[in-house]
Structure 1
Amino acid sequence: MSAENTIDHSTCMSMAGILNRIGDKWTVMVVGRLARSGTLRFNTLKRQINGVSQRMLTLTLRNLERDGLVTRTIYPEIPPRVEYNLTELGRSLKDPINALWDWSAENGAAVIEARAIYDARHSAPENEPVRRSAYAR
C-alpha cells in the first residue's frame, strides 16, 4: 500500500490500528526477542524483556496471537507447558524492527541531546514568577 492510499479515512483508521499494535513498545520487544531466540516460554520471555509486567506480557502476547503474528502452543503436561513462536507474518517484522533498533542505537545520543536542548530552552527561568491562570482563585 502506498502513502497516497492513506488519504481515504477508512484506510487511515485501519492503518492506525495496525501501526499502534506493531509500534507498541512491548510488541517490539516481544517480536524482537522471538525473532532472535525462536520458540520461548512465557517466563523466559518475561525474564528476557526488562520491565514488562506479567499482565502486560499476557495482553501483548494475546493481541499478537489475535493479529496472526504469534502462535501459542499448549502441551498437555502437568503443569501445562505453553510456548510462543512467531508466525510467518510475525517473522516478516524482523527486518523493520531491526532497522528501528539500529536507528535507535545510532541516533539515541543525538535524540537525548536534542531533548536536553529543547527542555533547557522551554523551561521557565528560576527568577521568573509562575504565571497564574485567569481562572485561578
Structure 2
Amino acid sequence: LSPMFPSKLMIGMELRDKVSEYVKERILALRKAHPGQYQNISVVRTNSMKFLPNYFEKGELEKMFFLFPDPHFKEKNHRRRVISVPLLAEYAYAMAVGGILYTVTDVEELGDWMKGCLDAHPLFEKVPEEEVKN
C-alpha cells in the first residue's frame, strides 16, 4: 500500500515481538531496495488493545486494517480478540467521521465473530459491496 499512497502515514501495530521485528526488517529491506520509497510506513511493538488512545487523537485515523488477527479459539480467551464490542468504542474514537475499518481473516468463526461485533455496535455500519469495489 505504501507506493500506492505515498502521502499517507501507515503504522503497523503488533503485540508479538518476533512479528514486529520481522516487519521492521522487511520495511528496512524495502527502503534499501527502493531508495526514497517506503518512507511513510513503520511498525510499533505495542498492545494496541490497551494503548491505542495513547497513539492517536480523536478522529485522526481514516482507515484501520485488522489483518489475520489471532482467533483465540477457546471461549475463555474471546476477551483477547482484537475486535470486540467494547474495543470498537476505542476504535471509533480514533477514527475520522466516514473512516473505514477493514477486517481480513482466514478463520470463518472469527470472521463471523467480527461481523457480529461490528453489526452490534451503533457507531459502525457495513459499507455496501458496490462502494467497496470503487
Which band: TM-score by shorter chain?
A: under 0.3
Q: Structure 1-normalised TM-score?
A: 0.24
Structure with greater proportional helix content = 1
Q: Structure 2-normalised TM-score?
A: 0.24
